[in-house]
Amino acid sequence: MQLDQSNNAPPEPSEVVSRYLEAIYYMWSEKEPLRSSRLADWLGVSRPTVAVGLRRMARDGLVQMNGRKEIELTAGGMRSAESIVRRHRIMERWLTDGLGLDWVTADQEAARLEHAVSDVVERRLYEVLGRPTTCPHGNPIPGYSEASPREVRLSSLRPGDRAKVTRVSEVAEREAPLLLGYLHERDLTPGREVAVLEADEVAKTLRVRVAESEATLSHETASKVWAVVG
């Protein structure tokens, strides 16, 4: 997929609106229900604060509410959100591949830097980095790649299943940064093959083999890892 470099790019949103757009995009990509209460939890702000922010964004044509009282990005809102996420993931690539930072630090620093990087610098970084298609955690870079339609959460697999890890959830990146380190230490990273050894429905755990090691994951943790079976 080629990025549309036309001059019809949406105006740059404020830093606060950018945070809202980014969070909404992440929840949408994770197929989470897009409710204002969930958005408030994600952003760490009060529900009344989110309600005010969403009203302003609706006024500006960035979001709308559907019949299920869920948030939807408009076409313009989606373009703005994709621009923000694209910049963040390219910055993460530079911070890990170029500067050697770990997953957690790179994500935190990218969140600080993404608002200060121009389109010119973003495109140049993309070229210098060899035109990456994903962030270090395997999430696709909007405009350059898409998630596989065959992806499933690791928590949905059963004993005997084999799969290749494709990406780590953005929820883990933002809400449980320690989980990123945990998964990295156990080599549950994009491209790794995993075999499911046991699924304990009572304890809600999944025991998997990665290379020559085994790991036992809670159902919650396993749900943060996406993979393609086969």
Q: Can you tell me the distance from the alpha carbon of 97 to that of 121, in angstroms, rounded to the nearest whole number?
A: 17
Helices (H) and strands (E) in the chain, counts: 9, 8
For residue 206, count other CB atoms closer than 10 A to its CB: 26
Q: What's the pLDDT at 141?
A: 96
- Chunked mean pLDDT (size 10), the chain, 230 residues: 44 85 92 90 92 95 92 96 95 95 88 88 95 94 92 95 93 71 86 95 93 91 92
Residue listed under structure tokens 């998964």: 183
Q: Are 20 and 53 in contact (CB under 8 A)?
A: yes
Residue listed under structure tokens 């969930």: 38
DSSP character for 13? P
Q: What type of residue sits at position 194? A: V
For the chain, the first-to-last Cα distance in angstroms comes to 25
Q: What's the pLDDT at 4?
A: 43
Q: Can you tell me the distance from the alpha carbon of 113 to that of 18, in angstroms, rounded to the nearest whole number?
A: 13
Phi, psi at 62, each rounded to 5°: -95, -30
Q: What's the pLDDT at 1?
A: 36
Going by C-alpha positions, the residue among 220, 225, 214 that lies closest to residue 138 is 225
Q: Are 143 and 149 in contact (CB under 8 A)?
A: no
Going by C-alpha positions, the residue among 37, 54, 25 that lies closest to residue 174 is 25
What the chain holds in terms of domains, given with CATH numbers, is 1-146 (1.10.10.10), 152-229 (2.30.30.90)
